Amino acid sequence: MSTVGVALATAAVMELFPRGITHYLLGGLLIGFGTAIVYLGTGNAAGASTFLESTLSYVSKRSRFQEPRLVASRDWRVVFTLSIVAGAAVYAVVVQGGIWITEVQPWRLFAGGLLVGVGTRLGKGCTSGHGICGVGSASITSVVNVATFMVIAIGTALLVMALGVSP
């Protein structure tokens, strides 16, 4: 490819990222580093749905949440999950100058959360588990799941946009 072609391709890609790519690169590196630490330290994938299940083992007596693997690992999983929330809060305060807010109606956030929860159960894992850990370990199931997540997410976003739905 010629120098002009490379420059045009670079310009086209950069149009997709008007605020730059540095923060995406940094975020990706931090996620990868955190995932590697969890895996190397515990041998477990760092998927969020498993973190939720292990946290529920504190309050639910259902056998599903009382599995030995969840109960044995719940303390460090709670710390890890709280660290994710704390990291987002620090980012919001330091970079954005305050807490994150949304104009999305609360019922839509609730409905979206329910749909994500159902999808997590049907897909046998969450986007972080499949997308970061599963794809990273070349799991065919995870690659198929991530492709499915993306197609449905993009289709839903396009449909919502075409219908003119606002937050």
- How many CB atoms are closer than 10 A to CB 76? 15
pTM for the full model? 0.65
Dig out the tokens for 53 from the structure.
């299940």
Residue of 57, 55, 53, 105 whose CA lies nearest to 79? 55
Per-residue pLDDT of the chain (167 residues; tens, 9 = 90+): 678 778 888 888 888 888 888 888 888 888 888 888 888 888 877 777 777 778 888 888 888 888 888 888 888 888 888 888 898 888 888 888 887 778 888 898 899 888 888 888 788 888 778 888 888 888 899 899 899 988 988 998 899 889 988 76
- Residue 43 identity: G
Q: Report pLDDT for 167.
A: 65
